[in-house]
């Protein structure tokens, strides 16, 4: 194919990369894909690809996400653009990076997913390009964001127990909380709706199920919301 797209000044290529977080009840997980072409063939990398000329970066990130997970409506958040001139050996490539929070139970292998795999955050292999750095920055931003937005709910199933919610917060922030104080704080925020149902979560006794109350949350976001931990 001829090199038919010509400009008076040099232009960089632009991609989107997506750090896809999931939660399995224990540790935070990240979805990685194995590269099938050079450079870095065989290395694990973040899902991503070149931005089409008629889509926004967000649309590109959602497209990548759909291809890898089959999910149409996940929560995504742009967090940084990486522009080191030498971050890709082929040509100059600038990447607009997003992180996505998905309910891991809803993810089935998508089109591209033959080589996609979940990795616990503590067992990430060495990644292609500067993706190690991108991933580090994504987890850092997720930790910050969780103080302002109840993003945790994007990672949990529709119905969940307080214990599961606590496990998630502990996994994201890398700390542990007092069981009773955590429940009190969360219930006091009034963004949880108690359901009539209960479950037997592997344990001795049934536990109440809750659902995220998004109307209440939208209300709170107006007058400034902050979550202390």
- By CB under 8 A, name the binding residues for a second copy: 1-14, 50-51, 53-58, 78, 80-81, 83-85, 91-92, 94, 96, 144, 147-148, 226, 228
Is the Cβ–Cβ distance between 80 and 137 less than 8 Å? yes
* Least distance from a second copy to the Cβ atom of residue 97, Å: 9
Gyration radius (Cα) of the chain, Å: 20
Q: How far is CA 125 from CA 16, 38, 96, in A?
A: 21, 18, 22
Map residue 177 onto helix, strand or coil.
coil
| 223 lies in the binding site for DNA (CB under 7 A) | no
Please identify, among the stretches 35-43, 57-65, 114-122, 180-188, the one whose residues bind DNA according to the rule CB under 7 A.
180-188
| 222 lies in the binding site for DNA (CB under 7 A) | no
* Least distance from DNA to the Cβ atom of residue 156, Å: 15
Q: Name which position in 8, 90, 205, 223 contacts DNA (CB under 7 A).
A: 205
Name the residue among 52, 41, 51 with its Cα closest to residue 18: 51
Beta partners for residue 100, in sequence order: 20, 76
The DSSP line for 8-26 is SS---EEEEEEEEEEE-SS
| 196 lies in the binding site for DNA (CB under 7 A) | no
Q: Which residues bind DNA (CB under 7 A)?
A: 161-163, 178-181, 183-185, 188, 198, 200-201, 203-208, 228-229
């Amino acid at each position: 194919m001829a090199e038919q797209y010509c400009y008076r000044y040099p232009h960089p290529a632009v991609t989107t990369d997506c750090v896809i977080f999931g939660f399995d009840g224990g540790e935070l997980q990240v979805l990685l894909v194995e590269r099938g072409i050079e450079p870095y063939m065989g290395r694990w990398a973040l899902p991503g690809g070149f931005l089409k000329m008629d889509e926004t970066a967000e649309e590109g990130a959602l497209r990548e996400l759909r291809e890898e997970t089959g999910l149409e409506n996940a929560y995504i958040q742009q967090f940084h653009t990486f522009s080191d001139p030498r971050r890709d050996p082929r040509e100059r490539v600038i990447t607009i990076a997003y992180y996505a929070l998905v309910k891991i139970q809803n993810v089935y292998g998508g089109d591209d997913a033959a080589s996609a795999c979940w990795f616990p955050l503590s067992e990430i292999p060495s990644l292609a390009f500067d993706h190690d750095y991108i991933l580090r920055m994504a987890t850092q931003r997720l930790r910050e964001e969780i103080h302002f937005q109840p993003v945790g709910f994007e990672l949990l199933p529709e119905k969940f127990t307080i214990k599961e919610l606590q496990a998630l917060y502990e996994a994201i922030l890398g700390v542990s909380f007092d069981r009773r104080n955590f429940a009190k704080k969360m219930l006091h925020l009034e963004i949880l709706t108690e359901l009539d149902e209960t479950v037997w979560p592997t344990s001795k006794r049934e536990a109440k199920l809750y659902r995220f109350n998004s109307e209440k949350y939208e209300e709170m976001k107006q007058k400034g919301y902050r979550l202390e931990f």
